[in-house]
Amino acid sequence: MLKDAFVLSGGQSHEIEMAMNRPGNGPWTPALVQEMCKGDTFGRIRGVLNGLAEIKPLEHAIDLDATPFCPSDLTVEEHQKGGIFRWDPAKVQLYLSKLQSKGKVIGGHDLRKDLAGKSVLNACLLDYLLKNPHLIPEEWKGKAIFFWGTIYRYLDGDLCVWCLYWAGGQWQSISRWLGNGWRGSNPAALRAS
Protein backbone atom coordinates (compact mmCIF):
# COMPACT_ATOMS: atom_id res chain seq x y z
CA MET A 1 0.00 0.00 0.00
CA LEU A 2 1.19 3.49 -0.81
CA LYS A 3 2.30 5.58 2.16
CA ASP A 4 -0.35 8.29 1.55
CA ALA A 5 -3.05 5.99 0.12
CA PHE A 6 -6.60 6.89 1.08
CA VAL A 7 -8.59 4.28 3.00
CA LEU A 8 -12.38 4.55 3.01
CA SER A 9 -13.79 4.02 6.50
CA GLY A 10 -17.08 2.24 7.16
CA GLY A 11 -18.67 5.53 8.23
CA GLN A 12 -17.55 7.29 5.03
CA SER A 13 -18.82 4.38 2.97
CA HIS A 14 -22.18 4.76 4.68
CA GLU A 15 -22.21 8.54 4.02
CA ILE A 16 -21.57 7.94 0.31
CA GLU A 17 -24.34 5.34 0.18
CA MET A 18 -26.78 7.72 1.91
CA ALA A 19 -25.87 10.55 -0.51
CA MET A 20 -26.43 8.26 -3.51
CA ASN A 21 -29.91 7.40 -2.22
CA ARG A 22 -30.88 10.99 -1.42
CA PRO A 23 -33.82 12.26 -3.56
CA GLY A 24 -32.55 13.93 -6.71
CA ASN A 25 -29.20 12.09 -6.66
CA GLY A 26 -30.26 8.82 -8.24
CA PRO A 27 -31.06 6.32 -9.36
CA TRP A 28 -27.70 4.61 -8.96
CA THR A 29 -26.93 1.14 -10.23
CA PRO A 30 -23.94 -1.16 -9.69
CA ALA A 31 -23.00 -0.52 -13.34
CA LEU A 32 -22.88 3.26 -12.74
CA VAL A 33 -20.72 2.81 -9.63
CA GLN A 34 -18.38 0.58 -11.63
CA GLU A 35 -18.23 3.20 -14.40
CA MET A 36 -17.49 5.91 -11.82
CA CYS A 37 -14.46 3.94 -10.63
CA LYS A 38 -12.85 3.76 -14.09
CA GLY A 39 -10.07 5.98 -15.35
CA ASP A 40 -9.65 9.48 -13.95
CA THR A 41 -13.29 10.06 -12.93
CA PHE A 42 -12.41 10.58 -9.24
CA GLY A 43 -9.61 12.96 -10.22
CA ARG A 44 -12.08 15.03 -12.24
CA ILE A 45 -14.55 15.05 -9.33
CA ARG A 46 -11.73 16.20 -7.05
CA GLY A 47 -11.04 19.06 -9.48
CA VAL A 48 -14.68 20.18 -9.17
CA LEU A 49 -14.58 20.02 -5.37
CA ASN A 50 -11.34 22.04 -5.32
CA GLY A 51 -12.83 24.71 -7.61
CA LEU A 52 -10.59 23.83 -10.57
CA ALA A 53 -13.33 22.51 -12.83
CA GLU A 54 -17.10 22.57 -13.16
CA ILE A 55 -19.83 20.15 -14.07
CA LYS A 56 -22.45 21.31 -16.50
CA PRO A 57 -25.16 19.22 -18.11
CA LEU A 58 -25.12 18.57 -21.82
CA GLU A 59 -27.43 20.95 -23.58
CA HIS A 60 -30.90 19.43 -23.71
CA ALA A 61 -29.98 15.99 -22.39
CA ILE A 62 -33.25 14.63 -20.98
CA ASP A 63 -33.31 11.85 -18.38
CA LEU A 64 -36.11 9.56 -19.55
CA ASP A 65 -35.37 7.29 -16.56
CA ALA A 66 -36.47 10.01 -14.12
CA THR A 67 -39.81 10.01 -12.35
CA PRO A 68 -42.29 12.04 -14.44
CA PHE A 69 -44.42 14.84 -13.05
CA CYS A 70 -47.63 13.39 -11.62
CA PRO A 71 -50.59 15.61 -10.67
CA SER A 72 -52.11 14.86 -7.28
CA ASP A 73 -55.29 13.39 -8.81
CA LEU A 74 -53.32 10.75 -10.76
CA THR A 75 -50.90 7.90 -10.13
CA VAL A 76 -48.33 6.52 -12.54
CA GLU A 77 -49.56 3.16 -13.79
CA GLU A 78 -46.69 2.40 -16.17
CA HIS A 79 -43.48 4.27 -17.00
CA GLN A 80 -41.19 2.94 -19.73
CA LYS A 81 -37.73 4.29 -19.06
CA GLY A 82 -35.65 5.45 -21.98
CA GLY A 83 -32.20 6.47 -20.73
CA ILE A 84 -30.66 9.82 -21.64
CA PHE A 85 -32.26 11.39 -24.70
CA ARG A 86 -30.37 14.21 -26.38
CA TRP A 87 -32.99 16.47 -27.89
CA ASP A 88 -33.12 16.55 -31.65
CA PRO A 89 -36.54 16.79 -33.36
CA ALA A 90 -35.22 14.43 -36.04
CA LYS A 91 -34.99 11.75 -33.34
CA VAL A 92 -38.76 11.91 -32.78
CA GLN A 93 -41.20 10.14 -35.10
CA LEU A 94 -44.87 11.12 -34.96
CA TYR A 95 -46.62 7.78 -35.33
CA LEU A 96 -50.18 7.11 -36.50
CA SER A 97 -51.85 3.69 -36.47
CA LYS A 98 -53.22 2.34 -39.77
CA LEU A 99 -56.72 3.45 -38.79
CA GLN A 100 -55.60 6.97 -37.85
CA SER A 101 -53.66 7.40 -41.08
CA LYS A 102 -56.79 6.43 -43.08
CA GLY A 103 -58.80 9.23 -41.46
CA LYS A 104 -60.56 6.91 -39.03
CA VAL A 105 -60.65 6.82 -35.24
CA ILE A 106 -59.03 4.20 -32.99
CA GLY A 107 -59.87 3.68 -29.33
CA GLY A 108 -57.16 4.42 -26.79
CA HIS A 109 -56.98 0.86 -25.46
CA ASP A 110 -56.58 -0.50 -29.01
CA LEU A 111 -53.95 2.13 -29.82
CA ARG A 112 -52.06 1.18 -26.66
CA LYS A 113 -51.97 -2.44 -27.90
CA ASP A 114 -50.79 -1.25 -31.33
CA LEU A 115 -47.96 0.69 -29.68
CA ALA A 116 -46.79 -2.29 -27.56
CA GLY A 117 -43.19 -3.08 -28.43
CA LYS A 118 -42.62 0.26 -30.16
CA SER A 119 -40.14 2.79 -28.77
CA VAL A 120 -42.71 5.18 -27.30
CA LEU A 121 -41.34 8.28 -25.59
CA ASN A 122 -42.47 9.01 -22.05
CA ALA A 123 -43.82 11.99 -20.12
CA CYS A 124 -40.32 13.08 -19.01
CA LEU A 125 -39.83 14.41 -22.54
CA LEU A 126 -43.24 16.12 -22.41
CA ASP A 127 -42.28 17.75 -19.08
CA TYR A 128 -38.95 18.94 -20.53
CA LEU A 129 -40.53 20.38 -23.67
CA LEU A 130 -43.13 22.28 -21.64
CA LYS A 131 -40.27 23.89 -19.69
CA ASN A 132 -38.40 24.60 -22.96
CA PRO A 133 -41.13 25.40 -25.50
CA HIS A 134 -38.66 27.05 -27.89
CA LEU A 135 -37.44 23.52 -28.73
CA ILE A 136 -40.83 22.29 -30.00
CA PRO A 137 -41.02 22.11 -33.81
CA GLU A 138 -43.46 24.49 -35.51
CA GLU A 139 -44.92 21.62 -37.52
CA TRP A 140 -46.26 20.08 -34.29
CA LYS A 141 -48.82 22.88 -34.05
CA GLY A 142 -52.31 21.68 -34.96
CA LYS A 143 -51.61 18.25 -33.45
CA ALA A 144 -51.92 16.75 -29.99
CA ILE A 145 -48.68 14.76 -29.50
CA PHE A 146 -49.14 11.87 -27.05
CA PHE A 147 -46.38 10.41 -24.86
CA TRP A 148 -47.48 6.79 -24.44
CA GLY A 149 -44.34 5.75 -22.54
CA THR A 150 -46.10 6.91 -19.35
CA ILE A 151 -49.62 5.74 -18.57
CA TYR A 152 -51.44 7.33 -15.64
CA ARG A 153 -54.47 6.24 -13.62
CA TYR A 154 -57.20 8.62 -12.47
CA LEU A 155 -58.45 8.27 -8.89
CA ASP A 156 -61.62 6.66 -10.27
CA GLY A 157 -59.50 3.89 -11.83
CA ASP A 158 -59.55 4.93 -15.50
CA LEU A 159 -56.29 5.07 -17.46
CA CYS A 160 -55.06 8.14 -19.32
CA VAL A 161 -52.08 9.46 -21.26
CA TRP A 162 -50.80 13.05 -21.56
CA CYS A 163 -50.28 15.09 -24.67
CA LEU A 164 -48.63 18.29 -25.79
CA TYR A 165 -50.70 20.72 -27.89
CA TRP A 166 -50.73 24.36 -29.04
CA ALA A 167 -53.64 26.52 -27.84
CA GLY A 168 -54.12 30.13 -26.79
CA GLY A 169 -50.72 31.11 -28.17
CA GLN A 170 -48.75 28.66 -26.05
CA TRP A 171 -47.84 25.00 -25.60
CA GLN A 172 -49.96 23.19 -23.05
CA SER A 173 -50.59 19.66 -21.85
CA ILE A 174 -53.69 17.71 -20.94
CA SER A 175 -54.60 14.13 -20.18
CA ARG A 176 -56.91 11.99 -22.29
CA TRP A 177 -58.84 9.00 -21.00
CA LEU A 178 -58.03 5.78 -22.89
CA GLY A 179 -61.77 5.27 -23.44
CA ASN A 180 -61.70 8.16 -25.95
CA GLY A 181 -60.87 7.95 -29.65
CA TRP A 182 -57.62 9.00 -31.32
CA ARG A 183 -57.74 10.69 -34.74
CA GLY A 184 -55.09 11.53 -37.33
CA SER A 185 -54.25 14.73 -35.43
CA ASN A 186 -53.29 12.67 -32.34
CA PRO A 187 -49.92 11.03 -33.12
CA ALA A 188 -47.77 9.15 -30.63
CA ALA A 189 -44.22 10.38 -30.05
CA LEU A 190 -41.76 7.56 -30.81
CA ARG A 191 -37.99 7.44 -30.80
CA ALA A 192 -37.06 7.55 -34.49
CA SER A 193 -35.06 4.56 -35.66
- Give the model confidence (pLDDT) of 88-98 as tens digits: 999 999 999 99
Instruction: Quote the percentage of the chain above a pLDDT of 70.
Output: 97
Instruction: Quote the percentage of the chain above a pLDDT of 90.
Output: 66
Nearest Cα neighbor of 188 from 102, 122, 138 is: 122
Whether 23 has a pLDDT exceeding 90, the answer reads: no
Q: What is the mean pLDDT of residues 59-68?
A: 92
Distance between CA atoms of residues 172 and 152, nearest Å? 18
The predicted pLDDT at position 1 comes to 52
Q: What is the mean pLDDT of residues 6-34?
A: 82
Distance between CA atoms of residues 64 and 78, nearest Å? 13
The predicted pLDDT at position 11 comes to 85
Q: What is the mean pLDDT of residues 101-119?
A: 95
Total Cβ atoms within 10 A of residue 58: 9
Which range, of 53-67, 115-129, 147-161, averages the lowest pLDDT?
A: 53-67
Listed in order, strand segments (DSSP E) in the chain are: 61-63, 74-79, 84-86, 92-95, 106-107, 144-146, 150-154, 159-167, 170-177, 181-182, 188-191
pTM to 2 decimal places: 0.73
140 three-state secondary structure: helix
CA 167 to mean position of chain CA atoms = 23
Q: 165 φ, ψ to 5°?
A: -150, 160
Q: What is the DSSP letter of 146?
A: E
Whether 99 has a pLDDT exceeding 80, the answer reads: yes
CA 155 to mean position of chain CA atoms = 23
How confident is the prediction for the chain on average, in pLDDT? Answer: 91
The predicted pLDDT at position 6 comes to 80
Beta strands 159-167 and 84-86, pairing class: unpaired
